[in-house]
Structure 1
Amino acid sequence: MVAAGGDGDRMGGNKPERELAGRSLLNHSLAWAMAHSDEVAISVRSKEQVFEQPTVPLLIDRIGGIGPISALDSAFRFAAQQGREMVMLIGCDQPFLPSNLPSMLQLGIGANGCALPVSHGRDHPMAALWRVNRSALANYIGGGGQSLWRFADAVGVTRVDWGDGCDPDLFANINDPAALAKAESQLSPRSD
């Protein structure tokens, strides 16, 4: 599931369609997701946020105003409809996710409800593998919960350490024009 429902205020709005190296941020994330799964969908906050010609199912979040946890709710619904026991949730603004992320999280999840990567001491719940548990999520949201971190802790989380030697930008979220410019420079061919 590619979460693309954020406001993108720091980016000046419409973050999923911002261009990076000739493609939208959303297209970068979709390409990554499609390389790792035969079932991919996009989660958005409202019908007004529908993007041009999505090539995968577009899901409207049922619950607004609660942040990325609403995308996880959409992801759980979609995964359950597809008969999947687990679902990977990524942000539309993460163009550098490592190719071995799904396999490493799959190895790490064990009996827990979530496996998420950790790099340089930081958790990355927007690049996590979740065991579908719609009732636990409904109870969490119904009780006022909105934090992906706290929900991960509630269902049991395995933190998969990427180590301090990895590129810190592997899990970077592109949240503002400066981060977009930095990502563009990382993807641009060097002339040296």
Structure 2
Amino acid sequence: MAGLIILAGGKSSRMGQNKALLKVGEQTGLERILERLSPLLSDPILVTNEPHLYEGLPVQIIADNYPGRGPVAGLEAGLVASKHDWNLLVACDMPFVSRKLARELLARRGDYECIVPMRAGRAHPLFALYRRSILPTVQRNIQADVLKMGAVLDASRSLYVEESELGQVDDFEDALFNMNHPSDYEKAVEKGLDGA
């Protein structure tokens, strides 16, 4: 079994409000992520610097060990806290995450350390699998002020999985949809009303 690490540490400055708690349909984005992925992944961890906002959710709530250093610091905190060798990292602003895509990434673990979906030539490191063995690399990068997720992938045994290799994942595009701006949230609400 693999673990689940959800990042909710950003300032949501472009959105103007907390993205994790925005409702899409009857649930918040965070609740949707937990409902969709909990059957496949265990011991969910929420990395946030505002723990009081998430009290009562069925997650272990932790703070960044390196506050203000972005997603790579959230990955570091999650890997330190996790009991699992492998963990799926998910950003809190992805309300249509796909269990099918997560299952396909898990099936490719092998001898890799990072397994990352690709769409239209772009890697998506905020819906990707990470092995705990990368923790020293992540920590070195943070201490050296190298904060791009791509630098972690470049320094690790990474497998990039192209959309064309995932024909059975029929919700690939929606799975990687994220809400950065109010217009993205409007689209998410429309999709949610359509049953996505």
Residues in 2 aligned to 1:103 and 1:27: alpha-carbon distance in whole angstroms: 19
Contact 1:3 1:91 in 2 (8 A): yes
Q: Secondary structure at the match of 2:39?
A: helix
Q: Which is further off, 4-13 or 101-110?
A: 101-110
Query: Are 1:119 and 2:123 counterparts?
Result: no
Query: 2:74 corresponds to which residue?
Result: 71
Q: CA offset at residue 139 of structure 1? A: 1.4
Q: CA deviation at 1:98?
A: 2.1
Q: Is the 8 A contact 1:40 1:56 kept in 2?
A: yes
**1:174 aligns to what?**
179
SS for the counterpart of 1:35 is coil
Alignment of 1:157 with 2:161, yes or no, is no
**Structure 2: segments with no counterpart, 5+ residues:** none
The CA distance in 1 between the partners of 2:6 and 2:188, in whole Å, is 19
Where in structure 1 are there 5+ consecutive unaligned residues? none
Q: How many positions carry a matched residue from both structures? A: 186
Match of 1:131 in 2: 131
TM-score, with structure 2 as normaliser: 0.86
- Give me the CA root mean square deviation: 2.0
Displacement, 1:33?
2.8
* 2:22 corresponds to which of 12, 15, 18: 18
Scaled by the length of structure 1, what TM-score is found? 0.88
Structure 2 counterpart SS, 1:73: helix
State the partner residue of 1:34.
Answer: 38
Q: Does the CA contact (< 8 Å) of 2:44 and 2:60 recur in 1?
A: yes
Deviations 1:123-174 (A, max 9, x none): 1000000011222221121121111111111112110112398653320111
Counterpart selection for 1:7 from 11, 15, 26:
11
CA distance in 2, matches of 1:52, 1:7: 19
Structure 1 residue 46: Cα displacement: 4.4
